[in-house]
A and B are shown apart, each in its own frame.
Chain A
Amino acid sequence: MIRLAPLDHKLLRDLRRMWLQIVAVGTVLGCGIALFVMATGTYGSIQRSRDQYYAAERMADLAASVVRAPESVGAQLAALPGVDAVETRVSGIALVDLPGVSEPVSARVVSLPRGREARVNDIVLHTGRLPAPERDNEIVVNEAFAERNGLGPGDTLAAVLYGRRRTLEIVGVASSPEFVFAVAPGEITPEPQRFGVFWMGREGLARAYDLDGAFNDVAIRQARDAKPRELVAAVDRLLARHGGRGAYGRDRMISAQFLEDELRSLQTMASVLPPVFLAVAVFLVNVSLSRLIATERSNIGLLKSFGYSNLAVAAHYAKFSLAFAALGTVLGVAVGQVGGDYMASIYRSVYRLPDLQFDAGPLVYAGAIGVGIAAAVLGSARAVRRAIRLPPAAALAPPAPTRFGGLGERVERAARSLDAKSRMIVRRIVRFPRRSLSTVAGIAAAIALLVTSQHFPVAMNHIVDVNFGAAQRMDVTLAFADVHDASILRDVRRLPGVLAVEPMRSAPVILSAGTRSQRDSLLGIPAGARLNRVLDGEERPVPPRADGLTIARVLARKLDVQVGDRVRVQATDGRRRSLEIPVVAIVDPFVGAPAYLELDTLNRLLQEPERVTAAYLLVDARAREAFSREVKRLPAIAGVTYADNAENTLRRLFNEGSGFFAALFVVFSSMMAAGVAFSAARVTLAEQERDLATLRVLGFRRREASYVLLGEIGALLLAAIPLGIVLGYLLTRWLMSQFATELFSFPHVLSPAAYGQSVAFVAVAVVVAALFVRRGVDRLDMVGVLKSRD
């Protein structure tokens, strides 16, 4: 048995007495730390496992498609300086008929090399086997598609390849770094149920596409010392005469880009919000502890009067604070680890990254623990320093209220007309401004965090609402397999139920100005477009113009151009026209639309009249079945997307992806708010305990004593609400501006509901905590309080 020093006995007693308070403060700190560990750890883990996956399966750095190139070009590409490996492939789009699915399903079909692993963009076989190289009816399908449609080895499906219908047998299920997300052409979201990836033996697929001894798609891995720009130029030069459409890097590979966008929004959330949370947690711990220790001031005076040194007193309270910190950090790290594992299991299936393991890394843990301890120790240090600076006599006397200038005086004068109990409340607040302000700030911070964390789902829903409500008002989007002449629109108009058709063209181009250039899609949108409109940040439509380009601000910044500047447009497709077009408008598009102009003008400038790559339709809902049946028969169709499906997918994707993250913030900020509420109420009771007992002794009723307690908490809550709203607004705006630097702009939607809910939640938490704490008034030790000094 260890003999404890008397001070340590006091420590243990105090800790046992304050266990609820320790839990409250520990929860707040724990939430901050858990979130920090989880968020930074999850982002880091996903990024790491993506990079490992890309490295292990040799994800392409560059890709290009051509009309038809002889196999020998592959060797020429491999010989280019800076090229590490080349895989030439045959690739195409197939329309798929799944039994029992009326809506059109399509798939990208990609060849696998014979008798070896792919040198670039290899696949990981999960079940079954690889297709026989010469067979043109055996396929391996991607995991997401197989799962969503309940398919596996042994199943068969019907597909139209290059205009010919055939029955394909699934022999295996696989995944690939190239298709972490499989996104249909012309789409912005993956819909694994309606779009799949099929891998087939090279010979078989080449035969199906009439590409024997040739390829139409190439994936390249560059050497470490490669100069990307020069390499792209060299590849383009080699492929140009075979109908090359321009090589592009990972930033234009749809899956990689999608994953990158997701990671980037996770990163922003992980790097911006958790530190804010942690900072708020630190602040709250700081406040709680310094108030708690302030209630110990007479004990500190007493200890000093006994001859304890300042150091001994400080050490005593440092230990006291460390108990709070210890609970918070242990809780935070444990919850962060468990939560991180859970997040990893969720994201393993959402992002389909094999071997995604949560591992925050020692630095994150060390940082979290350090921050937790520092928070507690610094929080107590301030209060202890104040207390030990006082001569013991002053510490033993009741705390002297601060007299402070104009406002306080005026408030006090106003309070003169109140009854003594209300005056007590006003006095306590005005005369101890530091204490009151810290409570107000704590509650306001909790409100602000809740407002901000609720903003993510609000903003995301708003994006989806506006996108599908005001911008994309079509029922169906048809993507054509190739650039088509407008005659196809006649066939489309004849499909059952079609009420309106609006064409669109997307041309792959290189935009450049001065020394800067950017590969992007130039959109041709018809004048008076109604179904697909570009909206600006204020959600106003910005129609396409015939006299020049309208470009997104992000792109304008990349090219360093202003309105009036001319941009060189090099088409990488078709006639490969090179033009100069003036910029006539710069917009903040609501959802990505990099550059566009009026459709006929675009076609005229490219000297390719009447071309379309997609069409937007209004379709009579009652004719949907018939429409689905018929549209599959159009050979030129590469993809059919129903807007309602796309909308659902987008929402689901958000809910599973960054939305899950965002939901976590809401949960944690709610817990923090509850912790703050409780700790504020409890410490107020601790500060008032003696006064309240005295009131009871003097014959005040419980109700009256409770009024003094609840009145103070209530008044501080009322003061905190507007401050919390303002703080929440500012914090949200700041956070959204952090997001705005990323590719997509996050709108700052003012959501009264989010504010209302946040305020209501925190208010209810404070009231519940106060009522809970109020029971202390019933148990006040009236006799005890008379026996002891303050």
Chain B
Amino acid sequence: MSLPAAAARGSVRVFHLAGVEKVYGSGEAAVHALRGLDFDVMAGELLVLLGPSGSGKSTLLNILGGLDRPTAGRALFRDLDLGAADDAAITDYRRHHVGFVFQFYNLIASLTAEENVELVTEVADDPMPAAEALGLVGLGQRRGHFPSQLSGGEQQRVAIARAIAKRPTVLLCDEPTGALDVATGVRVLESLVDVNTRLGTTTLLITHNADIARIGDRVVRFADGRIRSIESNARRVAPRELHW
């Protein structure tokens, strides 16, 4: 990874958060998942979100992905107010700009790997062929298989192929390696980093693993619904150099 490339990308703001709060429930039972977040995400960044369990990482990612809305504050994608836009606009946002990768893959069991990817490319504006996306994650040979015929890591890579195939503006990954062994986890991370560098896709990656944080441009540490620190990595480490 070359530094100039990262610097060139870092000039356009993709997300802008100002005082974002999220409260689940009300009264006695209220849970403050997010207690006021302020920060921006720049185009082409690979941002790693770190933090203990329950600190609000997934909550934030869901808000940024248009799956949930903040209780207070503003969360903007470019000019789109993710808290105030109507459901149709949010759906369109997800459709055209967001690629998701989840801990539990969330593939459609009745569709093959390739068809799972096609599900997304079909409605995208400028997608890459499904076969190409699968090739990027090293699954070109397995595209006719159903999820039940793939290993967990392979399923996760299908999910990544599905997320990147539409060339999303932002790629949101919630513990994509959580269920995987080291070697497989490295493969998955390589796919993500590859997409981030080659396509310039802004990527947010949640992990529990401090080691993995080294692959990002910046690391955001969460604690109890707040941002404890934001650090820039001097150098992005390639996934295969990681050990955990």
Contacts and interface: CB of A to CB of B under 8 A. Distances in A.
> 10 closest pairs, A vs B, by CB?
A699-B95, A699-B94, A398-B109, A400-B148, A427-B110, A420-B119, A694-B106, A782-B67, A428-B110, A420-B122
Given A401-B148, A423-B115, A783-B68, A700 B109 contact: no
A145 to B, nearest CB: 71
24 contacts: A397-B147, A400-B149, A401-B110, A401-B148, A419-B122, A420-B122, A421-B119, A423-B111, A427-B115, A428-B110, A694-B106, A695-B108, A697-B65, A697-B106, A698-B95, A698-B100, A699-B91, A700-B95, A702-B87, A704-B123, A783-B67, A786-B103, A790-B104, A790-B109
Interface of A: 397-401, 419-421, 423-424, 427-428, 431-432, 690-691, 694-702, 704, 782-783, 785-790
A399 B111 contact: no
B80 to A, nearest CB: 14
Contacts of B65: 697
B104 A401 contact: no
Nearest to B119: A420
A695 B100 CA distance: 11
A790 B179 CA distance: 14
Given A399-B148, A423-B111, A695-B119, 17 more contacts: A419-B122, A420-B111, A420-B119, A420-B122, A427-B110, A428-B110, A691-B108, A694-B106, A697-B100, A698-B94, A698-B100, A698-B120, A701-B95, A702-B91, A783-B68, A786-B62, A787-B58
A2 B192 CA distance: 53
B186 to A, nearest CB: 23
Nearest to A782: B67
A639 B184 CA distance: 99
Given A697-B100, A783-B68, A424 B148 contact: no
B110 A432 contact: yes
Which label, helix, strand, loop or mixed, suits the secondary structure of the A interface? helix
Contacts of B162: 698
A787 to B, nearest CB: 8
Nearest to A778: B87
Contacts of A785: 106
Given A397-B148, A432-B110, A698 B119 contact: yes
Contacts of A787: 58, 104
Contact of B94 (A697, A702, A783): A697
Nearest to B122: A420
Contacts of A699: 91-96, 98, 120, 123
B113 to A, nearest CB: 13
B72 to A, nearest CB: 18
Contacts of B119: 420-421, 424, 695, 698
Contacts of B100: 697-698, 786
B20 to A, nearest CB: 16
Interface in B81-106: 87-88, 91-96, 98, 100, 102-104, 106
Most buried by A among B67, B115, B174: B67
Given A397-B148, A400-B148, A786 B104 contact: yes
A702 B95 CA distance: 12
A277 B94 CA distance: 49
Nearest to B152: A397
B21 interface: no
A701 B108 contact: no
A398 B110 CA distance: 9
Contact of A420 (B68, B102, B115): B115
A786 B68 CA distance: 12
A767 to B, nearest CB: 23
A696 B92 CA distance: 10
A401 B65 CA distance: 31
B165 to A, nearest CB: 11
A788 B106 CA distance: 9
Contacts of A694: 106-108
Contacts of A428: 110
B159 to A, nearest CB: 10
B10 to A, nearest CB: 27
Given A698-B120, A699-B92, A398 B102 contact: no
Contacts of B148: 397-401
Contacts of A786: 62, 67, 100, 102-104, 106, 174
Nearest to B90: A699
Q: Which one of B96, B110, B115 has the highest number of Cβ atoms from chain A below 10 Å of its Cβ?
A: B110
Contacts of A788: 104
A401 B123 contact: no
Nearest to A699: B95
Nearest to A785: B106
Contacts of A427: 110-111, 115
A313 B122 CA distance: 42
Contacts of B62: 783, 786
A477 to B, nearest CB: 69
Given A427-B111, A691-B109, A420 B118 contact: yes
A790 B95 CA distance: 23
Contact of A431 (B91, B95, B96, B110): B110
Contacts of B103: 786
A696 B91 contact: yes
Contacts of A424: 108, 110-111, 119
Contacts of B92: 699
A25 B180 CA distance: 42
A373 to B, nearest CB: 33
B75 to A, nearest CB: 15
Given A699-B94, A699-B95, A783-B62, A400 B104 contact: no
B236 to A, nearest CB: 27
Contacts of B147: 397-398
Nearest to B117: A420
A729 to B, nearest CB: 34
Contacts of B104: 786-790
A782 B106 CA distance: 11
A788 B104 CA distance: 7
A416 B62 CA distance: 34
Q: Which of B106, B120, B149, B162: most chain A Cβ within 10 A?
A: B106
A428, A698, A783, A788: residue with the most chain B Cβ atoms closer than 10 Å: A698
A401 to B, nearest CB: 6
